[in-house]
Chains A and B, each alone.
Chain A
Amino acid sequence: MTQPHEHAEHAHPSNRTYILVAAILGVITAVEVGVFYLDALKPVLVPILLALSAAKFTMVVGFFMHLKFDSKLYRALFVGPLVVAIAVMMAMFLLYGVFSA
């Protein structure tokens, strides 16, 4: 009594979208490296780099891994442990003063 697969993944983006996303990813990487070499940005380097990295992370997960379009269940399976992992990492960084270094 197999239920009909309700194709949650029907709304796949087109190849054009994929290529566009990849191009943006490439550009962000270039910006990251550029920022890294700009002395003027030294004081705000860490937040900028973390934000750019998070943007790339979200794009790959959202578009390439289809999490943006796929069933909410997958999102829960991924985001739940991710949140716990990030929380534990933050707590450890605070305990070890990683941010203040």
Chain B
Amino acid sequence: MSQTDAAAMEMHSATGLPNRKILMWAFIGSECMLFGSLIIVYMVYRGKSLVGPYPADLLNIPFITVTTFVLLMSSLMMVLALSAVQRGDMKWGKIWLFMTALLGMVFLGGQVYEFSHFVHEGLTLKTNLFGGSFFLLTGTHGAHVAVGVIWLMSLVFMAQRGRLTQANAETVEIAGLYWHFVDVVWIVLFTLIYLLV
């Protein structure tokens, strides 16, 4: 919509930067406070659960290391997708975009598996403070991943229909910013939740 936007209003850009990219960066700034607040809740309640299961009983480091790696690699796919689209190579652009979404789905699958495993082991939202703060923090992140996957798949779909071209590189770039930020959040969560048990 940005092209029509700019054309329709003959928009003047004081900084020479695209509106939507400024919007995304400002939004990411806001998201820092959102995840910051959620991390505050998790860290403040760390070790405050009165009954188990406790983090050390459940967290599976090797497993989550694999999904973390998957998410990191999805970020690589994302930059490759952007660079392909910027070159006008829509074939590879589409493939990398799809790979990004696919790895995102793998990550989500891992999270679904992890959650159901925890529930099976007796940890739910209601069990203790760890349950509530863990599911809320990782669940909020998972929801962000899910939104990203839908977004990326829409781009793949648009590319398939030929509605995403080199001229829309900015659209891909903005989706990429979002995706990388979600990855960055996970880098922090991986350390705080899993490694600093």
A residues at B contact (CB < 8 Å): 1-6, 8-9, 12, 15, 18-19, 21-22, 25-26, 29-30, 32-33, 36, 45-46, 49-50, 52-53, 56-57, 60-61, 63-65, 71, 73-74, 77-78, 80-82, 84-86, 88-89, 92-93, 96, 98, 101
- The digit string for B167-178, where 1 denotes a CB below 8 A from any CB of A, is 000000100110
The A interface is mostly helix, strand or loop, or mixed, namely helix
B109 vs chain A, min Cβ distance (A): 19
Supposing A2-B13, A74-B25 touch, asked if A22 and B75 sit within 8 A by C-beta, the answer is yes
Contacts of A96 in B (CB 8 A): 43-44
A-B contact pairs, 10 of them (CB 8 A): A6-B16, A18-B76, A26-B69, A29-B69, A30-B65, A32-B195, A45-B195, A56-B187, A60-B180, A86-B36
A15-B80, A26-B72 known; A93-B43 Cβ under 8 A: yes
Are B187 and A12 closer than 8 Å at their CB atoms? Answer: no
Complex-state Cα separation, A53 to B173, whole angstroms: 24
**A101 shortest CB reach to chain B, Å:** 6
Provide the bound-state CA to CA distance between A53 and B79, in Å: 20
Who on chain B is nearest to A71 by CB?
B17
Residues of the A chain whose Cβ atoms lie less than 8 Å from the Cβ of B79: 15, 18, 63-64
- Determine whether B29 belongs to the interface, using a CB cutoff of 8 Å to chain A: yes
Find A49's partner among B6, B26, B195 (CB 8 Å cutoff).
B195
Q: Is the CB of A3 within 8 A of B69?
A: no
